[in-house]
Structure 1
Amino acid sequence: MVQKTTVTLIDDLDENITEDVQTVTFAHEGKTYEIDLGAENRQALDDALASYKAVARKAGRSTTSPSPRRTRVASDAGAIREWAAANGIEVNDRGRIPANIREQFDAAQK
């Protein structure tokens, strides 16, 4: 036996059942809202918000991936090791340099 489930979205404003109904998400005064709108009502919402969006700044979480974290380049490790040796601080010749030694190096550079 085969079952077929159909989900029908109905425009929340005019209760029309059309194939072009989509869920629209928007936020106002710290609250996020969702509404199902057909093409005509989506356009009306876009038109109503256009003048506000034109002068607004983007805020909150982005849907894009976050910026990559800044990392130190390999040459920093060499400079830190040289500085540590000159200052009598033991640090391995290879591997990760402990954060406290990096902090001491940064403080000494200022």
Structure 2
Amino acid sequence: MSKKTIVTLVDDLDGTDAAETIAFAVDGAAYEIDLSADNAAALRATFEPYVKAGRRTSASRRGGRSSSAGSGGATPKEIRAWAADNGVDVPARGRIPAGVHEQYLAAKH
């Protein structure tokens, strides 16, 4: 016996038939929303000035931030070297504490 499954998207805003699922992220949280063609166009129009002014980042990282986005473009290796040269304690491996990032940015700007 064969089976056919039909998936129907429903617009999350108004309950009409949806044309597509749109993924987006804000403040480090990722979202998906099913929208009709009209509502999808309205969402894109709303985001357009922010997309044009923003920087594209890797979608593979949570929240869409690149590894150097919060560090003024520096790599963790560069920040660790700066910290060692300036007597700032920083772990040899793993995440660099926010306070060290802030010190690095303040020293570089």
Aligned to 1:16: 16
Q: Which has the larger radius of gyration?
A: 1
1:6 is the counterpart of 2:3:
no
Match of 2:50 in 1: 52
Write out the 4+ residue segments of structure 1 that deviate beyond 6 Å after TM superposition. Answer: none
d(CA) in 1 for partners of 2:56, 2:39: 23
Per-residue Cα deviation, 1:40-81 (whole angstroms, up to 9, x for no partner): 01100000011111111112336xxxxxxxxxxxxxxxxxxx
* Structure 1: runs of 5+ lacking an equivalent: 63-110
Q: How far does residue 3 in structure 1 lie from its aligned partner after superposition?
A: 1.6
| 1:26-105 equivalence runs, <5 A | 26-61=24-59
Identity of aligned residues (%): 43
Distance 1:7 1:53 in 2: 31
* Amino acid paired to 2:14: D
Q: TM-score, normalised by structure 2?
A: 0.51
Flag the structure with more relative contact order, 1 or 2, with Cα contacts below 8 A and sequence separation at least 6.
Answer: 2
- List runs of 5+ in structure 2 lacking aligned partners: 61-109
What is the aligned length? 60
Distance 1:24 1:5 in 2: 22
Query: Over the residues paired in the alignment, what is the CA RMSD in angstroms?
Result: 1.5
TM-score, normalised via structure 1 length? 0.50
